[in-house]
Amino acid sequence: MNKSPAQADRGFSYSRSEFEELVDSALAHARKLGASNAGAEASEGCGLSVSVRKGELETVERNRDKSLGITVYVGQQRGNASTSDFSQAAIERTVQAAYDIARFTAQDPVAGLPDADDVARPDAQPDLDLFHPWDVTAEQAAELAIRCERAAVTTDKRITNSEGAGVSAQQSHFFSAHTHGFRGGYASSRHSISVAPIAGKGDDMQRDAWYSSMRSAKELASPEAVGRYAAERALSRLKARKIATTQCPVLFESPLAAGLLGGYVQATSGGALYRKSTFLLDSLGKQVFPEHIDITEDPFVKRGKGSASFDEEGVQTRARKVVDSGRVEGYFLSSYSARKLGMKTTGNAGGSHNLTLHSRLTHEGDDLAEMLRKLGTGLFVIELMGQGVNYVTGDYSRGASGFWVENGEIAFPVQEITIAGNLKDMLMGIEAVGADTYNYGAKTVGSILVNRMKVAGS
């Protein structure tokens, strides 16, 4: 297939129409073999990643990959196969492989494509402005990374080393279709700049990092701003110490608060619910958060990192309130998990779409300083380590570092501690949410104050 001039400008090797031909060819061959239903997706991604350290170029990586995946149904038996070879012979072999797998797979009563009524129609697929290719050369990317690292190391003479800085420019596009009437696809991009400076010497060394990631390179924070902020974070952690074991309120910095929101999503997702492996089983309609907490989902945010007018199955997405006044209004379900639960898909095959957690008690002036004042005396956490979360029981125990706060003011940095509790109690114990909102992928939330947790120190 020859690359069209328009595609060359966009940096892709294949056009949308070429992907449509590949997908239609795969579906036609599946029907020819006797498949009762089938779905296929063609995709392509490419990008540039550059890293520097101590002002010197370390790595330049260019990636380019492509794939065609096919899912074949023989009744309620399902088979999947994929290939990176787009020749007609390879596509037919891949479809045959998926068909053969399906024939020898056990029947699954809920297996199948989404219901036709749930499928996103072409007129319900608006342009969400997700594609902003960045025509940056390796030399330009390296210069940006060097500027970022230089800004970090020149912030203060106590910045003594660096783990390096990086710049990444990535873009991809796909087209997908299946035999229940879905056809759709789009191009998207994601660009970033990051740095990880080290402060201090000997036994008193601290590392921190920061980054900026956006759909459009024009919206990235400046390299200097990223570098200086990363340095300030590392410097603030010098002379950290342990604290005595205690119980106290805990304030989660907004990037970590997004992780708490992610934990809630995992606990109310279809797979965990139908396997009965979640502490929030049968929570629909029940009070899980305090009454002042709402969570909304909006798939249609322009340039949003979690935006999509349809999910991975081609199901129409919808804006909705997931939690209203602390009560669970909806789960996160694919067609498969919905059928397992005797429910309807929520258009979340592949994950959530632009979730925002907010409190009705939050005021515009509730910045980090005000949240520290609300914390009073307790722990302000800025880093978590380990994966000590049991989603079956809700038990939560993770290594942490941050700052001890007294009378609303940071007293000193702390390290080598563990915070512990139960997610059910933590979610219900949210006392305040800051206006210092941070977007982490498909989630946006301010800092979160939890009323009480165990802190294990010395």
Residue 424 confidence class, pLDDT cut points 50, 70, 90: very high
The model's confidence at residue 118, banded by pLDDT at 50, 70 and 90, is very high
SS (H, E, C) 4-69: CHHHHHHCCCCCHHHHHHHHHHHHHHHHHHCCCEEEEEEEEEEEEEEEEECCEEEEEEEEEEEEEE
pLDDT at 6: 40
Domain ranges of the chain: 5-236, 246-456
Q: Are 183 and 73 in contact (CB under 8 A)?
A: no
The pLDDT value given to residue 406: 97
Q: What is the pLDDT of residue 3?
A: 39
Q: Which residues of 141-157 are buried (b: 16+ CB within 10 A; e: fewer)?
A: bbbbbbbbbbbbbebbe
* Confidence at 458, pLDDT banded by 50, 70, 90: confident
- The region of weakest confidence among 120-129, 395-404, 446-455 is 120-129
What top-level class would CATH report for the domain 5-236? alpha beta
In 3D space, the residue among 318, 314, 298 whose CA is nearest the CA of residue 306 turns out to be 298
- Percent of the chain whose pLDDT exceeds 70: 98
CA 213, CA 219: separation in Å to the nearest integer?
Answer: 9
pLDDT, tens only, 276-320: 999 999 999 999 999 999 999 999 999 999 999 999 999 999 999
Does the pLDDT at position 9 exceed 80?
Answer: no
For 202-349, list the strands marked E by DSSP: 204-207, 210-214, 246-252, 293-297, 320-324, 327-328
**pLDDT of amino acid 8:** 38
Task: Tell me how far apart the alpha carbons of residues 444 and 423 are, in angstroms, rounded to a whole number.
Answer: 19
> Which phi and psi angles does 19 have, rounded to 5°?
-65, -40
Hey, which residues does 63 pair with through a beta bridge?
47
Q: Give the model confidence (pLDDT) of 216-225 as tens digits.
A: 999 999 999 9
- Comparing 140-149, 345-354, 372-381, 382-391, which segment has the lowest mean pLDDT? 382-391
- The strand ranges marked E within 331-370 are 355-359
**The pLDDT of residue 123:** 87
The mean predicted confidence, pLDDT, of the chain is 95
Give per-residue pLDDT as tens, 228-244.
999 999 999 999 999 99
What pLDDT sits at residue 387? 84
The maximal CA–CA distance of the chain, rounded, in angstroms, is: 73
Which of the four pLDDT bands, split at 50, 70 and 90, describes residue 414? Answer: very high
pLDDT > 90? residue 149: yes
Please give the structure tokens belonging to residue 353. 């779409």
* Contact predicate 326/292, CB 8 Å: yes
The per-residue pLDDT for range 153-192, each reduced to its tens digit, is: 999 999 999 999 999 999 999 999 999 999 999 999 999 9
Question: What's the rounded Cα separation, in Å, for the pair 434 and 253?
Answer: 9
Global pTM value? 0.93
Report how far residue 151's alpha carbon sits from residue 11's, in angstroms, rounded to the nearest whole number: 31
Does pLDDT of 419 surpass 70? yes
